Every structure is written in C-alpha cells, then in structure tokens.
Amino acid sequence: MTAVLDGDSLEVELGGTVQEVRIRGINAPERDECWGEEARAAATALLDDAEILLLADGRDQYGRLLADLWTGEGSVGLTLIRQGAALALTVDFDGAAPYRAAEDAAFAAGSGLWAADACGPATDAMVAIARARFDAPGPDDENPNGEWVVVANAGPPVELTGWLLRDESSVHRFEFPEGFLLGEGAEVDVYSGCGTDRPEALFWCEGPVWSNSGDSALLLDPHGNVVDRFRS
C-alpha cells in the first residue's frame, strides 16, 4: 500500500504503477464531512503495514479500481462498516447481505458515525424520516417529483436551518431552507424535482436523486450528526 486517501479509498502499487483503489460496497464520509477524518484513521489502522489481499472487479466512473480487500483481520470493508466508519451501499454483489446486516448492527449500537453526538452535541429534536419513494413512476427524467422523502416532527416545532438530507453516495446533499420551521406533528415532503416551496413541500430541484434499485436516506443535524436513516 502507498497511501490511505480517505475511509474508502487508497493508493497501491500494482505492476510498477500506482493505482487508486475504491473499496467496493462501502462509502465513508468525505474528509470535510462529519466523521471523515475518523473514517480515514480507521482505514489507516487496518491497512497500514498490513499484508493486503486485493480482488479487483472493474473500475468506477472515476477510473478507480473497484476492489474487495482483506487483511489478517478479515474483510476491510466489512470491518469498517462494523466500526461505524462507513455505510453499506445498497448495491447487489456477493457479500452485500452481510454488509447491510453489519450496518444495521452499527446503526442500532450508535457506533462511529452513527452516534447521536458523533460530531457535536446531540439534538433533542424529535425529527425523523417517516417514509420515502425512491423509484418514481415512469422515466425518472420525466418525473423527478415522483420520488420524495417525507420528514416528520413528533415533538415541538423545530427550525431546520443547517439540517441536511442526503443519499448514500458522496454526491447528493439537500440543505433545508434558511428559517424553515417544521411544526409540531407536521410533515414535509422533499421532492427531487423543481417547484415552489411551501410549508408542507420542499423542492430539491436536482432532478432524479435516488437510486431506483434501492438507496439510503440520511437526515443530518447542523453538526452533521445522523439523526435518522431510511433504507430501502
């Protein structure tokens, strides 16, 4: 191994050239996000000075090798998920089921990035993801508002300035509008397409966001703590 870049990627020397490798089936927080540096440290602890078995499986859209990695401690991806240092991506591959089960266990235990105070004081807001539809009826590009996530408030009114809704990738982030107030017992639908915001509906205006084959929606407070998770 040459260098650990972040919690889910590294550089290795293969055949005399340095290749960037993306660990298959996981996604760690970006280095500028909540728990990003901790995820990188967790990967470094597993990989530094270790003998690594690497099984490549093609390349991703950025040209990085996709690979499963093992050390004497076992599967690197699975270990990082168990530690709460990475999410299990909702993709189908051999071994995907144990990855998802490991994430469920880490989430239930509040391990790593799943801790209520992982990156700052825990919120006392009673806000959660009530339901979601990731696969819009018809072609996605023609019906982006056919996919949505519903955020519900079971407690007193809460201002959602600085709160984020995100998918399991490192790409899609929705920031709630400045001053947006979610009333007691109220719900707000967050649509992927465009529209005019109103108290019961907000519009991401990004086009299709969620993966039709399955995805994870995460609700983050202003500190970046994961307040709730919804996975299909």
- pLDDT for res 116: 97
| Nearest partner of 22 among 34, 6, 37, judged by Cα | 6
Regions in the chain scoring below 70 on pLDDT: 1
Give the pLDDT confidence score for residue 61 in this predicted structure. 86
Q: Measured between alpha carbons, how far is 158 from 131 in angstroms, rounded to an integer?
A: 19
Residue 1: the pLDDT is 64
Predicted pLDDT at 94 = 73
Nearest CA among 217, 130, 134, 139 for reference residue 182: 130
Which of these, 219, 187, 191, lies nearest to 200 by C-alpha position? 187
Q: Count CB atoms within 10 A of the CB of residue 205.
A: 14
What domains are there in the chain, each with its CATH number? Answer: 3-114 (2.40.50.90), 127-231 (2.60.40.1260)
* Residue 142 three-state SS: helix
What pLDDT score was predicted for residue 93? 72
pLDDT tens digits, one per residue of 45-92: 999 989 999 999 899 888 999 999 999 989 999 999 999 999 999 877
